[in-house]
Structure formats: C-alpha cells, structure tokens
Structure 1
Amino acid sequence: MKIAFFNTKSYDRDYFENFSENSEIELTFFDGTLNCETTELTKGFDGVCVFVNDQLHADVIEKLAEHNNKIIALRCAGFNNVDLEAAEKHNIKVVRVPAYSPSAVAEHALALTLTLNRKTHKAYNRVRESNFSLERLTGFNLNGKTVGVIGTGKIGVEFAKIMQGLGCKVVAQDPYPNQELIDKGIEYINTEELLSKSDIISLHCPLTPESKHLINKETIKQMKRGAMLINTSRGALINTKDAIKGLKKGRIGYLGIDVYEQEEDLFFKDLSENIIQDEDIMRLMSFPNVLITSHQAFFTREALEQIATTTIQNILDFKQGKELKNQVSPQH
C-alpha cells in the first residue's frame, strides 16, 4: 500500500521508517504541506499521512478522491484541519492517533508554567553573559495557588494530577467530568467561576466551533487580574488580538503558548533569515511575560514512537479490512 507522507521532518523519517520497514506499507516522504497547491503529488497513492498544519479542506479532499486516495491518516490527535463531511461524501476514511503520551504534553505545560514563573530562560541568558544579578527574576510559590484546568481528557487529567502533586488547589471545567479527578478532590465548576478564581489557567480542550476563541475579550475580563494563561492544545482557543490587549492592560500576567492561531505559516520551519510578516506573533514576542514554543509539547521519544506505531497500525487495519478503532467521522 502506497502512502504519500506530507510535512516530513528528519525525526518523522527516523521513526516511521523504523516502524514501517517490515510492514506492507510503502511511504514516500514530501517536505511540503498538503494543500490545494500540492494535491497533484497524491497521484498514484492509496492514501496520505498528514499532520496538524496540512489543510484538508473540501476542495483538497475532492482532489484526493479523484486520485483514488482512500485513507487520510492523521499522525496527531486533533482533526479540525480535515473536512470530515467531505471525506465521508467521497468515502475516504479518516484515522488519527487519539493519544500519544499525554504525559509529554502535560509536562510541557508544566515547563511553560515554571519557566514563566521563575524566569529560568532569562537567568540562563544572564549567566552566559556573566550577569549573576537576581534583579527582576522574582517568582512565586506554586504551592497553594489555584490552578484551573479547562478540558479534562487524558492530557488535562495528567496536568491536573501534576499540579495537585505540587500542592496546588486544582479546579476543572469539562462537559464530561472525570471521576478519577473527582475522587482526588478536584472540583468541577463553570468557566466563569474558574476564570475568576484561578491563578493559573491551562487549556486542554479540543478545537470545536463552540470552543474557538474560548479566551476572548469577555472571558479575559473574567480572569483574575495578573493570572497566568497556558495553552498547549489548539491555537484558536485564544483570540490572539484580544490576548495582546489583555497583556497590555495587565489582565493577563503571563502567557505561555505552544500553539498559535496562524501557526501553519510559521511553526516547524526555520525562518531565522526571514522577515516575519505576522504582526501578532511579533507583538507577542515583544512582551517580557510571554513565552512561545513552536508546537513541541508532544515532542518526546516515547510520543514519537507511539505516533509512528499507531499510524502504521491504522493504515494496516484499513488495508486488511479490519475495524478502524481510531476512525473519526462527522458524528465524532
């Protein structure tokens, strides 16, 4: 079975070639993203393997169908970049990796929190320049602080347990409360109450029409003044322009993001010799209390192994006519 593999990086080749070498799958790697301009590359393939920034809109999926592609294998958990109704219309199966080391993402959310708080990134740069001053490096104790977790799927649960282990009071919001967290004494409250009570707010929910711009000018007003906001989930959960205004007014005291609304034009690329045209991210980068990483929360050896093995198994299951346990559909 021939699969066109888009958005290839060196680590993708390393892990996928290792896990597919003894399978019935032939992978052809392409550096670029899959979009309207690159659909011709899918000719002669049985399916495609894509990542978070590939854009599989209706017109792209129509081209995949014309080229007899039968499967879209997402090597990620999110599927908001795929028009599922168009895929179903053309009888193209869509599969994903529902979980690949939730601990990796939860631990990265903790890393953003600690770095923003204790300013270790600034201290590192100072010491390298022989500046051993502690001026303007003051942080705060996490112990005893209230942490609000929005979204308590597998990653949110891991993050909540980590923060509770650090002595934080954890509150949560999710339409479907997790009994494991309730048993640990974590209270589920509504979003407005969570925003007003939390010293640290961490987003761990999927991007849906309902959750898009969950953090906006109105919800930022509901936040405790000076609170820390962390997002390792999906960039469009935050209205970037409203977040910038919230930072300028001091409503948001710290912002740590591993995802960004317009990241498909930036992340996973070396743009160090380019002039960045995105004014919003340049403005964010100018704030001393903002920390941005480029969608690396998942990036551990364990997660990469899980992504590769699950993706290959999803494709093999399709080839062999087995049940697709990781299939997503418009009704998902």
Structure 2
Amino acid sequence: MKILFFSAKPYDKQFFDHYNKPYGFQIEYLETHLGPHIVNAVQDELAVCVFVNDKVNAEVIAVLAEKGVKIIALRCAGFNNVDLEAARAHGIRVCRVPEYSPQAVAEHTVAMILTLNRKTHKAYNRVREQNFSLNGLLGFNLYGKTVGVIGTGKIGAAFCRIMKGFGCKVVAYDLYPSRQLESSGIEYQPLEAVLGHSDIISLHCPLNEDTHYMINEKTLGMMKKGVTLINTSRGGLINTVHVINALKSKHVAHLGIDVYEQEDKLFFKDLSGSIIEDDTIQRLMSFPNVLVTAHQAFFTEEALSEIAQVTLNSIDQLVKNKEPDNKIVILV
C-alpha cells in the first residue's frame, strides 16, 4: 500500500522509515505542502499524510476522492486545516496523533519563559563577544508568581505541573476542569479572572471558531500591565496586530510564540537568503522582548517517535477495517 507524504522533512523520513519496517508501506515523501497547486501529484496512493500547514480544503479533498484516496492521516494533533465535512461527504477517513509527548511542548514553553525572563540568549551572544556586563539582563524570580494556563489538556496539564515545581501559583481556565489537577493545587477560575490575576499567561487550547483571536484588544486589556504572554498552541489564537499594539504600549512586557497565524509561508523553510515580505512578523521580531521559535516545541526524539508509530498504526488499522482509539479517528 502506498502513502504520499506532504511537507516532509529529512527528520520525517528518518523516523517514519525506521518505524515503517514492520508495516512495509510504500512511502513517497514530498517537501511541498499539500494544496490545490500540487494535489494532482497524487496518483494511486490509498493514504496521504499531512502536517499543520497543509491546506486540506474542500477543493483538495474532492480531488483526493477522485484519485481514490481513502485516508487522510495528520501527523499532528490539530485538525483545523482539514475540511471535515468535505471528508465526510466523500467517505474519506481522517486520523491524527492526539497525544505525542505532551512534555515536549510543555518544556519548550518553560524554556521560552526562562529565555525571555533571564535573557540567556542575549547573555550568550554578549559573552562570545567578550562582553561580561550584566546591564540590561535583569530578570525576575518565577517563584511566587501567578501563572495562568488557558487549556488544561495533556500539554496544559504537563505545563501546570512544571510551574508548580517552580513554586508558582497556577490558575487555569478550561471548559472541562480536571479534578486531578485541582487536587494537586491548580485553581480553576473564569477566563477574565485568569487573565487579570496572572503574571505569566500560557495558551494551550485548540484553534476553533470559539478560540480564534481569543487574545485580542479586549482580552489584552484585561491582563496585568507587564504580563508575559506565551503561545505554543496555534497562531490564530492571537490577533497579532493587537498584541503588537500591546507591546508598543508596554502593556505586554514579554511575548513568546512558537506559532504564528501566517506561519505556513515561513516556518519549516530556510529563508535566510530571501527577503521576507510579511511586515507583521518583521515588526514582531524587531522587539527586543519578543522571542519567536519556528514551531519547534514538539521537536524531540520522543515526540517524533510517537508521531511515527501512532500514524502508521492508525493507517494500518483503518486499512484492515479495524478501529484505532476513538481519540485518533476524528471522523467516522
């Protein structure tokens, strides 16, 4: 059986080839992202495997169906880039990887907070130039600070536990509070209270109609002046123009983003020799108190191993007309 991969990178080939040995699938890797421009490259593959920035809209799905594709496998947790209704209409099964080392993303979130706070990236560059001055490197203790967590799924929960270990007070907002987290000292509050009480706010929720631009002029205004805001979830959770205004007014003291709402044109590419025409990301990166990483929070050996294993097993189960875990198949 053939699987065609889109947005494939060398590390995808490394991990999927390794874990494909028991299955023996025929895998072809394309570096380009899936979209109307390339969908006709699909020939006799039964499955396509896509990532976060592939555009699997109704137009693309219609062509996939004509080509005989029966499975769309997302090697990620989010599925906001797939038109599920179109897939349903064409009888295409959609599967994903709902959980892959949540600690990977949680730990990267902490790394961003520490980097922004203690300015280790700036200290590293200074010392390499034989500048041992401490001026401009002043940070603050995390101990005793209030950390607000929006979304307490697997990743949010892992992040909560880490921040408790730092001696922080952790408050959280989620439509479905976790009793286990509550019993460990995490206090659930309404969203407005979490925004207003927190020194640091971290986003760990999915992107959907209800959460799109949940961080906007109004919600930014609810936050403490001098807040640290971190997003390792989905770029569309933040209205970038509004957060730039909050940075300019110094209402937001630090911003760390591993995701960006227009990242499909930038991330996972080497653009070091190109002129980036996206003025918004250029403006963001001009701030000394903004840290941007290119969607690497998931990027650990453990996470990539889990992604490959779950994806291949899900495809195998669907081909055999067996049902994988109901959290994995998102459309039946």
* Residue aligning to 2:330: 328
* Residue aligning to 2:318: 318
Structure 1 counterpart of 2:70, which letter? K
Q: Does 1:112 align with 2:112?
A: yes
What's the offset of the Cα at 1:190?
0.8
Superposed, 1:186-201 pairs within 5 Å as 186-201=186-201
TM-score using structure 2 length: 0.98
Superposed, 1:224-303 pairs within 5 Å as 224-303=224-303
CA distance in structure 2 between the aligned counterparts of 1:47 and 1:19, rounded to whole angstroms:
17
CA distance in structure 2 between the aligned counterparts of 1:68 and 1:293, rounded to whole angstroms:
38
Structure 1 counterpart of 2:300, which letter? T
What's the offset of the Cα at 1:135?
0.2
* Residue aligning to 2:43: 43
What's the offset of the Cα at 1:10?
0.6
CA distance in structure 2 between the aligned counterparts of 1:122 and 1:191, rounded to whole angstroms:
34
Between 14-23 and 105-114, the greater mean CA deviation after superposition? 14-23
Structure 2 counterpart of 1:206, which letter? P
RMSD: 0.8
* Residue aligning to 1:30: 30
* Residue aligning to 2:148: 148
CA distance in structure 2 between the aligned counterparts of 1:24 and 1:137, rounded to whole angstroms:
53
Secondary structure of the residue aligned to 1:13 is helix
TM-score using structure 1 length: 0.98
CA distance in structure 1 between the aligned counterparts of 2:142 and 2:193, rounded to whole angstroms:
20
* Residue aligning to 2:55: 55
Deviations 1:274-304 (A, max 9, x none): 0001011000000000000000000000000
Secondary structure of the residue aligned to 1:192 is helix
Q: Is the 8 A contact 1:118 1:138 kept in 2?
A: yes
Secondary structure of the residue aligned to 2:273 is coil
CA distance in structure 2 between the aligned counterparts of 1:185 and 1:115, rounded to whole angstroms:
26
Q: Is the 8 A contact 1:148 1:172 kept in 2?
A: yes
Structure 2 counterpart of 1:272, which letter? S
* Residue aligning to 1:91: 91
* Residue aligning to 2:174: 174
What's the offset of the Cα at 1:21?
2.2
Structure 2 counterpart of 1:247, which letter? L
Task: Give unmatched runs, 5+ long, in structure 2.
Answer: none
Structure 2 counterpart of 1:133, which letter? S
CA distance in structure 2 between the aligned counterparts of 1:24 and 1:190, rounded to whole angstroms:
50
What's the offset of the Cα at 1:329?
2.6
Q: Equivalent pairs: percent with the same residue?
A: 57
CA distance in structure 1 between the aligned counterparts of 2:48 and 2:331, rounded to whole angstroms:
17
Secondary structure of the residue aligned to 1:202 is strand
Aligned residues: 330
CA distance in structure 2 between the aligned counterparts of 1:70 and 1:159, rounded to whole angstroms:
37
* Residue aligning to 2:137: 137
CA distance in structure 2 between the aligned counterparts of 1:172 and 1:4, rounded to whole angstroms:
40
Structure 2 counterpart of 1:327, which letter? V
CA distance in structure 1 between the aligned counterparts of 2:183 and 2:216, rounded to whole angstroms:
32
Moved over 3 A (4+): none
Structure 2 counterpart of 1:86, which letter? A
Between 165-174 and 14-23, the greater mean CA deviation after superposition? 14-23
